[in-house]
Homo-oligomer: A and B are copies of this chain.
Amino acid sequence: MTRPAQGPRSRTGRRSGDSGSKVAILEAARVRFAEHGYDGATIRAIAATAGVDPALVHHFYGSKERLFAAAMELPVIPSEAITAALESREPGSSLGTHMVRSALALWESAGMRGSFQAMLRSALTSEQAATTLRDFMAEAILGPLASVAEGTNPDRTSFRASLVATQMLGLAVGRYVLGFGPVAEASPDELAAAIGPVIDRYLTADISEAASAHYHPHGGPDSW
Q: Which residues of A line the B interface, CB within 8 A?
A: 92-95, 97, 117, 120-121, 123-125, 130, 133-134, 137-138, 142, 156, 158-159, 161-163, 165-171, 173-175, 177-183, 186, 189-190, 192-198, 200-202, 204-205, 207-209, 211-212, 215, 217-221, 223-224
**Do B212 and A138 touch across chains, with their CB atoms under 8 A apart?**
no
**Do B165 and A180 touch across chains, with their CB atoms under 8 A apart?**
yes
Copy count, this protein chain: 2
**Do A130 and B179 touch across chains, with their CB atoms under 8 A apart?**
yes
**Do A123 and B178 touch across chains, with their CB atoms under 8 A apart?**
yes
**Do A182 and B159 touch across chains, with their CB atoms under 8 A apart?**
yes
**Do B180 and A209 touch across chains, with their CB atoms under 8 A apart?**
no
When distances are taken between beta carbons in the complex, the residues of chain B under 8 Å from A166 are 167, 170-171, 173-175, 180, 183, 195
28 pairs of residues in contact across A and B, judged by CB atoms under 8 Å: A92-B217, A94-B212, A94-B223, A97-B215, A124-B124, A142-B180, A159-B182, A159-B194, A162-B181, A162-B182, A165-B174, A165-B183, A166-B173, A166-B180, A170-B173, A189-B209, A193-B209, A193-B212, A194-B207, A196-B212, A197-B215, A200-B215, A200-B217, A204-B217, A204-B218, A204-B219, A205-B219, A219-B221
The closest CB in chain B to the CB of A161 belongs to B182
When distances are taken between beta carbons in the complex, the residues of chain B under 8 Å from A212 are 94, 97, 192-194, 196-197
Q: How far is the CA of A190 from the CA of B93 in the complex (A)?
A: 29
